[in-house]
Amino acid sequence: MSELLRGMPAGGYVLSNGGLISDLITAERARELYDEASARPGSDLDGDLEHGFHFWSQGSDGQRLVRHHVIPWPGDNPGGPAPATPSV
């Protein structure tokens, strides 16, 4: 994971889908995901943008639910806080 995140600027987020890191996203995209999940009944949104959040959405096959985690990343700042570790 450290190789994937090396050089990522502070203020970004890590998006994991189904327990796998799938993308590095901007704060703006994290806000969009948060707003979409909060507006969708059944997403079971938990958390916030500052500390990280997770929610459920329907899989692309329309049959299964996928758990998503959005975790803030401090960048390559050794004095910054460590990212939260998602619990699956």
Regarding predicted confidence, which is higher, 63 or 87? 63
- Minimal CA–CA distance to 68: which of 41, 28, 39, 30? 30
Residue 1, Cα to own-chain centre: how many angstroms?
A: 14
Regarding predicted confidence, which is higher, 11 or 86? 11
pLDDT tens column, 39-77 = 999 999 999 999 999 999 988 888 889 999 999 987 654
Considering the entire predicted model, what is its pTM? Answer: 0.72
pLDDT for the residue numbered 21: 74
Rounded to whole angstroms, the maximal C-alpha distance in the chain is 43
pLDDT tens column, 30-41 = 999 999 999 999
26 contacts: CB under 8 Å, gap ≥ 6: 11, 12, 13
